[in-house]
Amino acid sequence: MTTISPHAASAPATAGSGVASVAEWLTTTDHKRIGRLYLGAGALLLLATGAISVLLGIERISPDREWLPVGSLTQLFSLQRFGLTYLVLLPLVVGVATAIVPLQVGARSLAFPRLAAGGFWLWLLGAGLGLFAIINNGGPGGGNPRFVELFILSAALVLAGLLATVVSVVTSVLTTRAPGMNMRRLPYFTWSVLVAGLGLVVALPVLIGNLLYLYISYRYQSLSELAGNRSLAQWAGFGFTQPTTLLFAIPALGLLADTVATATRQRLRPRGIIYTGIGLVGVAVFATVLQFPATLRPGFISAAFGDQLSDLLPFLMVHGLPLLGCFVAVALSAKGLAAKPKVNAPLVFALFASLTLLGAVAANAVNHVGDAALGGTTFEEGTWLAVVFAGVLTAMGAVAYWGPKWWGRTMSAKATLPLALLAFAGAQLASLPLLVAGFANQPGGVFPSVENVQPGVTDLVVNFNYSGPMELWNILSTAGHALVLLAVLAFVALAMRSFLKGEAAGDDPFDGQTLEWATTSPAPFDNFAEVHIVKSAEPLLDLKPANRSDA
């Protein structure tokens, strides 16, 4: 019998000199540290790319005021796209998953922790090289072929590093679960990580393969069809656009379901349907693997029945099923909120993240309706930003929720809640105006969909001119980026203060239901003193009859 006191010893596992401490972090195989390394680096890069987003937004307010060099716009837009997708969104989500999934499944360690740690350092190396390449006139739109090559190589390293960590996390879910924890008893967040992880295992290598082709095309100037800067957007663009990026934000749905169950102290049901809903969002991976846009052709309504059918079936599979799944998962989780939840910051972050993701999934479906004529406009960019910010909100919520398990201290709910509102408002302001401007045909930045890239076009940022109320939407979007940046800055500052000097957390500060709350705060190196037997999907709730809704 394991007995867990709410105020059990929570001293750090190791202490030593500064150099020794740094060495410990550099060589760590503790999944909580690896996850926090991803989170820290991702947060820093979020601040940097957020600042670039603000600059680009200001530039776009009026095309007449060209205060950024015109020749660097394509590079800056591609830096924003590459940075926010693979240096911010995915690392933040992978970091949270790495740090918490073994605790949630009752494991003492991550499977292949050296592989996960190696993945982080490979990702960091790739990120550094990628930024170095773009600064030196490389990357999409870059004028220095050697640094264009370096950028492609660094992008492949970034993906390989993330893939290594994802393989480690997925294997952990499949093999290190506590006794009695079958797949139907997985915590919702872990399930969502498994769905996203399996999708990434299939999607990322396809992108790496394309990057290998692109690298050789630049290195040997041999593939005329793949040559030119536009080819990066054309052949690797699917990895930076929807529906591929939807995979990265799936854990938002798992966090919502877990935090709703915790806040309402009830068993969130029907479990199988919520699992299915989250799983359906993962169907988006088919579009990635097949590199198939699944678009409803212009004039779809008046097309012949056979043509309609040949468009509609793939459209429904690639865009309809994820929308249905996302809606089901959000609706069933939100239904649980009817049971008078104890509102806390993680719940609010998760709710906002899931609603943002739901909006992005719906917008992605609209973007693939040919009659809407949204190709090449800012609509796609707005959708992508919504996905990115859904992931950022998820990471912020996860840090507020599971921070006590990593640092042993808790964040003040009163101080964190306004930041959730600020970040959500910023995310909506940044993305929604671009969706509206897309309907007014405002041209988008780089990484449009493959079918919209015109042969011979090397500068992917054509112009921002269009006939709509340009300044209004671009000012709003820029303000949104600034708000998100402000919210993230404040959140990072608050988190650092709280986790360094804040109030010590109990072992179960949120009255949780899943196994991570059954160990001390912070969790020790090997997570659990003893291996627990799980007899339901909510093992801790079984032991809290006073808190059960049906008690």
Provide, rounded to whole angstroms, the least separation between the CB of residue 506 and another protein.
11
283 binds another protein (CB under 8 A): no
Provide, rounded to whole angstroms, the least separation between the CB of residue 262 and another protein.
14
Give the torsion through C-alpha atoms of 472, 475, 476, 481, to 10 deg: 160
540 binds another protein (CB under 8 A): yes
112 binds another protein (CB under 8 A): yes
225 binds another protein (CB under 8 A): yes
289 binds another protein (CB under 8 A): yes
236 binds another protein (CB under 8 A): no
- Is residue 122 within 8 Å of 164, Cβ to Cβ? yes
d(CA 438, CA 440): 5
d(CA 229, CA 441): 24
d(CA 428, CA 385): 9
210 binds another protein (CB under 8 A): yes
432 binds another protein (CB under 8 A): no
Residue positions counted in the chain:
551
339 binds another protein (CB under 8 A): no
Closer by beta carbon to another protein, 269 or else 535: 535
163 binds another protein (CB under 8 A): yes
Provide, rounded to whole angstroms, the least separation between the CB of residue 337 and another protein.
25
- Is residue 459 within 8 Å of 448, Cβ to Cβ? no
Which of 446, 451, 463, 464 has its CA nearest to residue 141? 446
Provide, rounded to whole angstroms, the least separation between the CB of residue 104 and another protein.
14
- Is residue 456 within 8 Å of 468, Cβ to Cβ? no
Binding track over 489-518 against another protein, x by CB under 8 A: ------------------xx--------xx
Stretch that binds another protein, among 3-11, 254-262, 294-302, 463-471 (CB under 8 A): 3-11
Q: Which residue in this structure is represented by tokens 């973007």?
A: 367
The answer to whether the Cα torsion of 359, 365, 370, 371 is positive or negative is negative
Site for another protein in 170-209 (CB under 8 A): 170-171, 174-179, 201-209
Provide, rounded to whole angstroms, the least separation between the CB of residue 542 and another protein.
9
Provide, rounded to whole angstroms, the least separation between the CB of residue 450 and another protein.
12
Axis-axis angle for helices 345-367, 321-336 (nearest 10): 160
Binding track over 364-403 against another protein, x by CB under 8 A: ----------------------------------------
Provide, rounded to whole angstroms, the least separation between the CB of residue 201 and another protein.
5
d(CA 284, CA 244): 7
450 binds another protein (CB under 8 A): no
Which of 516, 539, 508, 513 has its CA nearest to residue 103? 516
Stretch that binds another protein, among 347-355, 377-385, 422-430, 539-547 (CB under 8 A): 539-547
Residues near 193 by beta carbon (within 8 Å), at least 6 away in sequence: 97, 101, 169, 173, 251, 254
* SS3 of 48-97: HHHHHHHHHHHHHHCCCCCCCCHHHHHHHHHHHHHHHHHHHHHHHHHHHH
47 binds another protein (CB under 8 A): no
> Where does residue 309 rank: exposed (0-12), middle (13-18), buried (19+ CB within 10 A)?
exposed
User: How many residues bind another protein, per CB under 8 A?
Assistant: 58
Closer by beta carbon to another protein, 156 or else 495: 156
Closer by beta carbon to another protein, 134 or else 214: 214
CA of residue 113 relative to chain centroid, distance: 22
530 binds another protein (CB under 8 A): yes
Closer by beta carbon to another protein, 108 or else 497: 108
241 binds another protein (CB under 8 A): no
* From 53, 80, 217, 245, residue interacting with another protein (rule: CB under 8 A): 217
Binding track over 50-89 against another protein, x by CB under 8 A: ----------------------------------------
- Is residue 293 within 8 Å of 449, Cβ to Cβ? yes
Which whole-number Å values give the CA distances from 279 to 111, 203, 275, 284, in the listed order?
23, 16, 6, 10
Strand, helix or coil for residue 1 = coil
Closer by beta carbon to another protein, 144 or else 176: 176
Closer by beta carbon to another protein, 284 or else 482: 284
d(CA 87, CA 82): 7
Strand, helix or coil for residue 544 = coil
143 binds another protein (CB under 8 A): no
> Which residues does residue 369 pair with via DSSP β-bridges, in sequence order?
296
Q: How far apart are the first and last CA of the chain?
A: 24
Q: Which residue in this structure is represented by tokens 């992978």?
A: 94
Stretch that binds another protein, among 185-193, 381-389, 480-488, 533-541 (CB under 8 A): 533-541
Q: Which two tokens stand for residue 367?
A: 């973007």
Provide, rounded to whole angstroms, the least separation between the CB of residue 23 and another protein.
26
d(CA 413, CA 345): 6
220 binds another protein (CB under 8 A): yes
Residues contributing to the site for another protein (CB under 8 A): 1-6, 108, 111-112, 163, 167-168, 170-171, 174-179, 201-210, 212-213, 216-217, 219-226, 235, 289, 291, 507-508, 517-518, 530-533, 535, 539-540, 543-544
